[in-house]
């Protein structure tokens, strides 16, 4: 008989919040780059402008909304993916095939993306506020204030602006992160060169972060544009056409900062998740 620790359903949300606290400035710079209609600044220049105009703490604008998003979007997708994966894995006495991981990741990510859309929209707006002239800033005090004001001033429908893009992006990034992490970890352990340790977790999550960045960047750009819109886009199709005018690079605007943000975020999330599982997970005897 051997003991094995299984992740609890809410560990993914907690781990994602921990990672978000570390990578939030990179996420903020990424949003600023994506909302430029013309490429005027690169990553370092944008970060320096934010600090110069509003101070170092401005790099953490929207942190409450980012944490709120992780506790809705990430908690949901991790809970669905890991609960079903562990259930099917225990019944079949073996790891799931990769195609099943992909389908499960897509479903979990799509569901989480929809649930997390309101917090995601407020997150984008709060991060982008420092770019706007003072008279045009929304000045949300925190995430809950932002959610309430959008509901009161713009209606429930506006809370789910960009939900299609957010859900589609959620599906792709969850396939890239969770499914690819599990598969990469399985392959690394299968070589017999490394055990189930921090180095294996780092390598697997680094690969997963790269996959997720490439998969979701085009949808991430459009989602950010739709959520930050003040009415200039009449539909998803209109946003697609306007972005396409910038050429193929328009859909991969901010790819480097997106990767610089998403890969560390992925690595930190899984490092935190594995440590939570190893210390506080459910003990299963087999």
What pLDDT does 224 receive?
A: 72
Q: What separation in angstroms does the CA of 185 have from each of 68, 109, 171?
A: 29, 20, 20
Cβ–Cβ contacts within 10 Å for residue 161, how many?
Answer: 21
pLDDT in tens, the chain (286 residues): 567 788 899 999 999 999 999 988 888 887 777 666 565 667 777 788 878 877 888 888 878 888 998 999 999 999 999 999 988 876 656 788 999 999 999 999 999 999 999 998 888 888 777 777 887 888 888 889 989 999 999 888 888 987 888 898 899 999 999 999 999 999 999 988 899 999 999 999 999 999 999 888 887 787 777 766 767 777 777 777 877 777 777 777 767 767 887 899 999 999 999 999 999 988 877 6
What pLDDT does 37 receive?
A: 59
Cβ atoms 101, 187 nearer than 8 A: no
pTM of the full predicted structure?
0.81
Please name the residue that has the structure tokens 């998403």: 262
What pLDDT does 207 receive?
A: 96
Q: Candidates 1.10.287.70, 1.50.40.10, 3.30.530.20, 3.60.21.10; correct CATH number of 3-285? A: 1.50.40.10
What pLDDT does 225 receive?
A: 77
Please name the residue that has the structure tokens 């055990």: 195
Q: What separation in angstroms does the CA of 151 have from each of 154, 155, 265?
A: 6, 5, 30
CB contact set of 88 (below 8 Å; sequence gap of 6+): 96, 100
Residue 110 CB burial class (10 angstroms; 0-12, 13-18, ≥19): buried
Cβ atoms 119, 147 nearer than 8 A: yes
What pLDDT does 217 receive?
A: 83
Distance CA 286, CA 3 (A): 6
Query: What are the sequence ranges of the domains in the chain?
Result: 3-285
Cβ–Cβ contacts within 10 Å for residue 67, how many?
Answer: 21
Instruction: State the angle between helix axes of 180-191 and 98-115 in degrees (0 to 180), rounded to the nearest 10.
Output: 150
**In this predicted model, what pLDDT tens digit does every residue of 104-152 receive, in sequence order?**
999 999 999 999 999 988 888 887 777 778 878 888 888 899 899 999 9
Ramachandran sector of residue 161 (left: φ over 0; alpha: ψ -120 to 50; beta: rest): beta
């Amino acid at each position: 008989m051997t003991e094995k620790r299984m992740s609890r359903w809410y560990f993914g949300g907690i781990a994602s919040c921990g990672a978000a606290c570390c990578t939030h400035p990179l996420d903020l710079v990424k949003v600023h780059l994506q909302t430029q209609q013309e490429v005027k600044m690169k990553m370092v220049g944008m970060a320096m402008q934010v600090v110069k105009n509003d101070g170092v703490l401005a790099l953490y604008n929207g942190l409450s909304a980012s944490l709120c998003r992780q506790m809705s979007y990430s908690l949901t997708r991790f809970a669905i993916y890991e609960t079903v994966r562990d259930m099917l894995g225990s019944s079949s006495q073996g790891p799931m095939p990769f195609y099943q991981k992909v389908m499960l990741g897509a479903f979990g990510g799509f569901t989480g993306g929809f649930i997390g859309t309101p917090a995601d929209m407020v997150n984008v707006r709060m991060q982008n506020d420092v770019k706007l002239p003072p008279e045009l800033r929304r000045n949300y005090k925190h995430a809950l204030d932002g959610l309430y004001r959008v509901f009161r001033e713009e209606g429930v429908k506006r809370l789910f602006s960009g939900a299609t893009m957010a859900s589609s992006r959620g599906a792709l990034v969850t396939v890239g992160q969770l499914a690819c992490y599990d598969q990469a970890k399985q392959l690394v352990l299968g070589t017999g060169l490394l055990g189930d340790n921090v180095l294996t977790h780092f390598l697997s999550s680094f690969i997963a972060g790269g996959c997720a960045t490439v998969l979701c960047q085009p949808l991430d750009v459009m989602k950010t544009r739709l959520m930050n819109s003040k009415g200039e886009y009449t539909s998803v199709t209109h946003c697609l056409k306007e972005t396409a005018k910038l050429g193929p690079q328009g859909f991969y605007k901010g790819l480097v900062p997106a990767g610089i943000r998403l890969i560390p975020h992925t690595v930190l999330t899984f490092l935190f998740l594995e440590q939570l599982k190893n210390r506080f997970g459910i003990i299963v005897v087999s």
